[in-house]
């Protein structure tokens, strides 16, 4: 891959952008490739992830990690946690299927009381909505007029067992430069007011204060401070502050970032300002730009320690055909 492609100016960069027709119909340039299912992750697959990292000079940053603290950006998953149950989606449920005492009573393996007394056996199960806890949205999560990223259609590509195109299992592991934009810190608040819409000026001001410059291919994580009320379900979920559409367009089109995430449940603010689209940032990033979304990221420690630039390493569960999957992002600070 040529260096220009890493900077979003070459052929690979053009592969990654969807165009709009009248009425917000999706149109992808022919060079995008009709089978591309992973949006801007496509960069990771041209010549392999190692090639991408080397060409975009990220390999120079990996040895710069300070070898000290590793920041875990995922929240714990537990019964009763905040989730989209207000929309009727199932809550996370965890239960034990085997316990030491139950095994001794039931003897499921038929080995007798002596072995059951010696061997302590515990097992469990869980069920959950895929958009629970820290997770990454697949490009099929939201679309426009029956089409998702790259023009894939529900009528043609969505079966009874999930999406046959653009499922979250298509995403490769992510190894990239990560940038925290602490917009709440820049504004001098611990938590934004309800429904606050983050603007491009907010992002630019925070980056200037942090003395950080975005680069094409970055993973950008935005702090609203919403995690300070976690795990108060109603307080965390209702009337969320978050990214406005203009700010999303600035990150996607001007800065050419690869992935965008936030510490709230929806990334964007609610309720939104538009009357014709109740979730415009999602439809823009996922369907029109092929940019995956990370939600419910724990960013408080990074912000407290003023770690704004880091090596970002993460992978999702390979849930075939799903619209999202649990995600375990790690941030490794870079030596200054």
DSSP 191: S
Contact assessment for residue 255 and residue 213, using Cβ atoms and an 8 Å cutoff: no
DSSP 334: B
- The ranges assigned to domains in the chain are 3-80+130-333, 93-127
User: Secondary structure of the chain: what % helix, strand, coil (to 5)?
Assistant: 30, 20, 45
Contact assessment for residue 262 and residue 221, using Cβ atoms and an 8 Å cutoff: yes
pTM: 0.84
Give the closest residue to 126 by CA, choosing from 299, 317, 315: 317
The pLDDT tens digits along the chain (336 residues) read 333 334 333 333 332 222 222 233 343 333 346 667 767 655 544 333 343 334 445 555 566 777 789 999 999 999 999 999 989 999 999 999 999 999 999 999 999 999 999 999 999 999 999 999 999 999 999 999 989 988 999 888 888 898 889 899 999 999 999 999 999 999 999 999 999 999 999 999 999 999 999 999 999 999 999 999 999 999 999 999 999 999 999 999 999 999 999 999 999 999 997 889 999 999 999 999 999 999 999 999 999 999 999 999 999 999 999 999 999 999 999 887
Give the closest residue to 295 by CA, choosing from 270, 320, 321, 332: 270
CATH number of 3-80+130-333: 3.50.30.50
**Within a 10 A sphere around the Cβ of 48, how many other Cβ atoms?**
11
Q: Give the CA angle between residues 237, 38, 148 to the nearest 5°.
A: 65
């Amino acid at each position: 891959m040529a260096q220009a492609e890493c900077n979003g100016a070459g052929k690979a960069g053009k592969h990654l952008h969807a165009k709009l027709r009248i009425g917000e119909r999706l149109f992808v340039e022919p060079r995008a490739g009709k089978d591309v299912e992973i949006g801007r992750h496509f960069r990771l697959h041209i010549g392999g992830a190692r090639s991408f990292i080397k060409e975009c000079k990220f390999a120079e940053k990996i040895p710069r990690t300070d070898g000290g603290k590793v920041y875990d950006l995922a929240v714990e998953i537990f019964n009763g946690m905040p989730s989209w149950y207000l929309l009727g989606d199932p809550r996370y449920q965890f239960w034990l299927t085997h316990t030491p005492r139950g095994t001794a009573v039931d003897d499921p393996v038929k080995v007798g009381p002596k072995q059951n007394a010696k061997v302590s056996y515990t097992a469990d199960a869980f069920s959950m909505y895929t958009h629970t806890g820290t997770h990454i949205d697949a490009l099929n999560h939201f679309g426009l007029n029956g089409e998702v990223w790259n023009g894939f259609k529900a009528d043609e590509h969505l079966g009874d067992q999930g999406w046959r195109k653009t499922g979250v299992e298509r995403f490769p592991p992510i190894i990239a430069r990560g940038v925290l934009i602490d917009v709440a810190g820049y504004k001098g608040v611990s938590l934004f007011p309800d429904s606050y819409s983050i603007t491009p000026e907010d992002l630019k001001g925070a980056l200037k204060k942090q003395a950080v410059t975005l680069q094409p291919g970055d993973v950008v994580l935005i702090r609203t401070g919403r995690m300070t009320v976690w795990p108060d379900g109603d307080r965390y979920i209702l009337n969320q502050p978050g990214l406005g559409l203009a700010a999303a367009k600035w990150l996607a089109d001007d800065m050419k970032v690869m992935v965008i995430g936030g510490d709230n449940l929806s990334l964007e603010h609610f309720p939104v300002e538009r009357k014709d689209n109740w979730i415009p940032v999602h439809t823009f990033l996922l369907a029109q730009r092929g940019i995956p979304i990370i939600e419910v990221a724990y960013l408080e420690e990074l912000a407290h320690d003023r770690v704004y630039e880091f090596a970002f390493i993460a992978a999702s569960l390979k849930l075939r055909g799903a619209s999202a999957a649990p995600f375990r992002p790690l941030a490794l600070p870079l030596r200054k």
